[in-house]
Amino acid sequence: MLYKIRSSVLFKNTFVYMMTVLINKAVPFLLLPVLTVYLSPEDYGTAATYMAYIGLLGVAVHLNMTGAVNVNFFRFSTKEELRVYVFNVLLIVSVAASLLFVLLLFAGDWFGSIIGLPVVWLYVGLAAVVAQFFTMLNLGLWQVQQKAKQYGIYQIALTLATVSMVLLLVVVYGLKWQGQLAGQAVAAIVFAFISLAVIVRRGFLTLQIEPEYIKDALKFGIPLIPHALSGWFRTGVDRFFLTAILGSAATGIYAVGYQFGMIIGIAAMAFNQAFSPYLYRKLKTINEAQKLQLVKLTYLSFAAFLLLAAIITFGAPWVIARFLDARYASAAEVVPWVAFGYAFQGMYFMVVNYIFYLKKTYILAAVTFFSGLLHVVISYMLIHSNGEIGASQATTISFFIMFVMVWILSARLYKMPWGLK
């Protein structure tokens, strides 16, 4: 079985995705010794709060439309149907962004005062989120086609462009947190235009409004809004709480430690990018023997995620003490909780795809939204009692609860031999 895994497209694509994600995340990760010198914990905390705002906007603008395209990619009988579907997905995102723009015109000053950001950066964030969607759509099409090489090259190019802009504005021009955010936004917008050009050139866009496709995409995406929002609850709301309760400096310390712990999440996401299209294709004609192989592969991945989390837990404090500015030394205490939290998220990825395949997203949304709300409550309580450590503890607890609940749901909806029988 292990030989078959090593020689399969899944293994090869996983390796490419893994290397791509590692390179993409390693570059900004290696910049931490530089950024922690030029950015104070307060600056880093402001940037982290902005990224949490970006995540919240992504839920409202993207509406899970890339997932709708990916799931339907293998269901359409002709490429022309897919082309029309892609255009209608872009239409949905455009309308959502326009509605949010109007909302910011009326409530932007109020919301900016709550999260501690000037209103101009709220508009910049909206532009960046719309730009991100074009790149996500382009990358998603490469992913479902299993063109991992093109996916990797494009992702790395985007990362290098972003890092170059950030270094130019922060280090050379000394713009602090404003330079970091502006550099990210400029790179996102430039690559949005490149992505749109690539999508058109690859023949994945036909300008035709099709109400049935709009209805299908919304039927997939809207029930997932609570699911996506629950994801933001677990990865974004803690920044808002920390800033409001303890100040931006605490948010900055937490964000640095979180970045170390999140390494396991990066690895899990890379594997899932290759595993999900592989699984969708397998499930079309799967037999009992193949189901057993999938279960064994799943359990093997569980062990790998937990082992990687243990390695990060022991290695991160040494790296933080020797390579980061002394102002961020306490970030080491955050790492273990976040690392194991993301190990549970990786395990969640391995079981949730069965629910996506069945399009039972409305049930998934209810389960994950509940776990997300639970995280909000736990995070608020633990931040009050344990500070930054409390926020990371909430991450571990909520990710574990979500994994267990979704695994139970997946097992009930799609029968797999989880008992290895």
320 closest CA partner among 308, 336, 340: 336
Higher pLDDT, 11 or 100: 100
Distance CA 406, CA 404 (A): 6
Q: What CA–CA distances, in Å, run from 161 to 56, 240, 353?
A: 24, 28, 32
| Residue 7 scores a pLDDT above 50 | no
Q: What is the pLDDT of residue 51?
A: 93
The residues near 195 (Cβ < 8 Å, ≥ 6 apart) are 134, 135, 137, 138, 139
The model's pLDDT over 274-287, given as tens digits with 9 standing for 90+, comes to 788 788 888 877 88
Instruction: Say yes or no to pLDDT of 71 above 80.
Output: yes
Confidence band, pLDDT 50/70/90 cuts, at residue 98:
very high
- Residues whose CB is less than 8 angstroms from the CB of residue 131 and which lie 6 or more positions away in sequence, other chains included: 185, 188, 189, 191, 192
| Whether the predicted pLDDT of 5 surpasses 60 | no
* pLDDT above 50 (res 1): no
Flag the least confident range among 120-129, 167-176, 351-360. 351-360
**Can you give the pLDDT at residue 8?**
57
217: helix, coil or strand?
helix
> Cβ distance 342 to 313 under 8 Å?
no
| C-alpha span between 353 and 275 (Å, rounded) | 9
Under DSSP, is residue 22 helix (H, G, I), strand (E, B) or coil? Answer: helix
pLDDT at 161: 94
**Cα–Cα dist 79/25, whole Å:** 34
The per-residue pLDDT for 6 is 46
Its pTM stands at 0.82
Burial of 225 (0-12, 13-18, 19+ CB in 10 A): middle
- Report residue 364's pLDDT band, with 50, 70 and 90 as the boundaries: confident
Average pLDDT, the chain: 89
pLDDT higher than 70, residue 3 = no
pLDDT for the residue numbered 17: 73
